[in-house]
Amino acid sequence: MKEAQDIANRVYENMPPTYIPMRNSVFYSFAGSVAEEENASIIVGGHINGDELTFRDATRSFFRLMQRILWESSDLLRLRKVRIITPLSRLRKYQVVKKAVSLGVPLQDTWSCHRDGTRHCWECDGCLSRIEAFNTAGISDPLRNTKS
Ligand SMILES: [Zn+2]
C-alpha cells in the first residue's frame, strides 16, 4: 500500500493541479462513439506542442494506440478507417492564437478557465496560460478587453 502511494506521489509530483487521470482516454472513447453514430471519418484533437511532455495520453504513441483501440472496438470505425488527427500538435499556444486570428475564429467565444462559472477567473493555470499566449502573440484578447 505504501509502495503504491509512493509511486502515485512521484507521478503526481510533476503534474499540473488541473490534471485529470486518463482524461484523454475517456474523451477519445466518447469521440469514437459519437464518430460511429454520426458517420464521421476523422476525430480531431486540439492538443498543442508541449502537451505530450506532461500528459502520457497526449503522445503520438497514445494516439496511434487509441486509434487501434477504436478500430478494435467498432467494426464501423475500422471499416471506415476513422482516424485521429491532431493538427495543432506542432504549434505552441501563442502560435495557435495567431492561427486562430488568421482564420477568423471568434476568440471571444472560446473558454480557457479551469473553474466553473460564466466568466474567466484570470488566476487559474488555464487563464494564466491564455494571458501568456496572447501576450507572446502580441494580440489583444477580446475577452480581457470587454467591460461586460
Ligand atoms: Zn481561470
| Cell numbers standing for residue 129 | 496560460
pTM of the entire predicted model = 0.80
Cα-to-centroid distance, 117 and ligand 1 (Å): 9
Cα-to-centroid distance, 28 and ligand 1 (Å): 24
Average pLDDT over residues 3-17: 81
Average pLDDT over residues 55-80: 95
Q: What percent of the chain has pLDDT over 70?
A: 98
Cα-to-centroid distance, 79 and ligand 1 (Å): 41
Cα-to-centroid distance, 112 and ligand 1 (Å): 7
Cα-to-centroid distance, 42 and ligand 1 (Å): 30
Q: What is the CA radius of gyration of the chain?
A: 18
- State the Cα–Cα distance between residues 79 and 74, nearest whole angstrom: 9
Handedness of CA 51, 53, 55, 56 (dihedral sign): positive
- State the Cα–Cα distance between residues 135 and 44, nearest whole angstrom: 27
Q: What is the pLDDT of residues 95-133, one digit of tens each?
A: 999 999 999 999 999 999 989 999 999 999 899 999 999
**Mean pLDDT score of the chain, rounded to an integer?**
92
| Cell numbers standing for residue 22 | 486518463
Domains of the chain: residue spans and CATH:
1-90 (3.40.50.620), 92-148 (no CATH)
